[in-house]
Amino acid sequence: MKLVDSISRMATLARMYKKEGKSIGFVPTMGALHEGHLSLVRTAKKHTDVVVISIFVNPIQFGETEDLDKYPRDIKRDEELARTAGADIIFYPPVSQMYTDGYSTYVFVEGLTDTLCGASRPGHFKGVATVVTKLFGIVKPDIAYFGQKDAQQAIVIKKMVEDLNVGIEIKVLPIVREEDGLAMSSRNAYLSEEERRDATVLYRSLEKAEGMTKHGEKDPKKIIKAVTEMITEVPGAKIDYVSIVDTKSLKNVDKISQEVLIAIAVYIGKTRLIDNIMVKPVPEAHSARKGLAV
Ligand code: PAF
């Protein structure tokens, strides 16, 4: 595995692989790797010749009051995990190379970025779309892999790639969960023992929402109310949002009549965690036959 900390070296290697006819799989990360990231690397390894994982804590996607400075960084540990998962290159450019003095170009995806996480983290997706565009330009992947946990991020990236004719295939892989259902996240490392227990309410509340839809509930307000009540019962939890939205436009839906994204963001103590599930409504005839509420 190669460790590459210079943009020009990474770009040279990418050109070389292209010349040799090798396909490049790319997993962009901010490090503090966990099983969620590693599952992306393993999948990339199955489908592409060379797997590049980037580790770059991108300052422009953090708000002023957010956790940029304390974001977990442990390159030695990440190196070992990436190597074991099968990465061929770790690309970890310094901030000074990615954002040189006078840097002034940004990518802004309209419409999808002012809702859900974008509403409470203004500028976040502009930072994400910008850095991913830059990384794509340097690494030149054929396929890039993202996790479904950051559902809105994946939708924003897909739109950016489509709108700008970037010509890279985007694959979104399922959320990897701990045994008790907590979605894996680098930010889980911030949780105390008690908070870690409280954090299970995110997935439990999504399971409740899924159960309601499976039993024929099609009113998003009722599901949001049930999820909200469940989370509110946990003293250490504070809701940022609970939303049921269209899977493409991310707009709130009035009725669950096709597949929807149920997305939540919850503060557990000071740590903001996100999670989501996609659910499909049961067909009307099926719920009526079973005598279930529709
Ligand atoms: O999901 C992340 O870790 C980051 O948002 C990403 C895609 C690496 C961009 O900095």
What is the tens place of the pLDDT at every residue in 83-130? 999 999 999 999 999 999 999 999 999 999 999 999 999 999 999 999
292 confidence band (pLDDT: 50, 70, 90): very low
Cα of 18 to ligand 1 centre, how many Å?
A: 25
Residue 267 maps to which CATH number? 3.30.1300.10
Q: Is residue 208 part of a domain?
A: yes
Ligand 1 neighbour 93 (Cβ under 6 A): no
Are residues 163 and 264 both part of a single domain? no
Neighbour count for residue 290 (Cβ, 10 Å): 10
Are residues 168 and 259 both part of a single domain? no
Rounded distance between C-alpha atoms, residue 62 and residue 77, angstroms = 23
If we measure between CA atoms, which residue out of 112, 153, 119, 143 comes closest to residue 30? 153
| Domain limit, last residue, from 173, 195, 225 | 173
Rounded distance between C-alpha atoms, residue 111 and residue 251, angstroms = 9
Cα of 28 to ligand 1 centre, how many Å?
A: 6
Ligand 1 neighbour 131 (Cβ under 6 A): yes
Rounded distance between C-alpha atoms, residue 113 and residue 251, angstroms = 11
For the chain, the domain total comes to: 2
Q: 181-196: per-residue pLDDT in tens? A: 999 999 999 999 999 9
First to last CA, the chain: 55
Determine the pLDDT at residue 275.
98
| Domain limit, last residue, from 107, 141, 173 | 173
Ligand 1 neighbour 28 (Cβ under 6 A): yes
Would you state the structure tokens that stand for residue 161, as one six-digit string?
Answer: 């790639």
Are residues 109 and 141 both part of a single domain? yes
Determine the pLDDT at residue 286.
59
Residue with tokens 């809702």: 115
Ligand 1 mutation pick, 58, 68, 109, 113, max ligand atoms within 8 A of CB:
58
Q: Is 34 a catalytic residue?
A: no
Cα of 41 to ligand 1 centre, how many Å?
A: 14
Are residues 70 and 214 both part of a single domain? no
Judge whether 141 and 169 are in contact, CB under 8 Å.
no
Are residues 38 and 161 both part of a single domain? yes
Q: 231-265: per-residue pLDDT in tens? A: 999 999 999 999 999 999 999 999 999 999 999 99
Average pLDDT over residues 26-45: 98
Ligand 1 neighbour 156 (Cβ under 6 A): no
Determine the pLDDT at residue 291.
47
* Closest protein CA for atom 6 of ligand 1: 29
Would you state the structure tokens that stand for residue 110, as one six-digit string?
Answer: 């309209």
What is the value of pTM for the model shown?
A: 0.95
Ligand 1 neighbour 132 (Cβ under 6 A): yes
Q: Is residue 179 part of a domain?
A: no
Cα of 118 to ligand 1 centre, how many Å?
A: 14
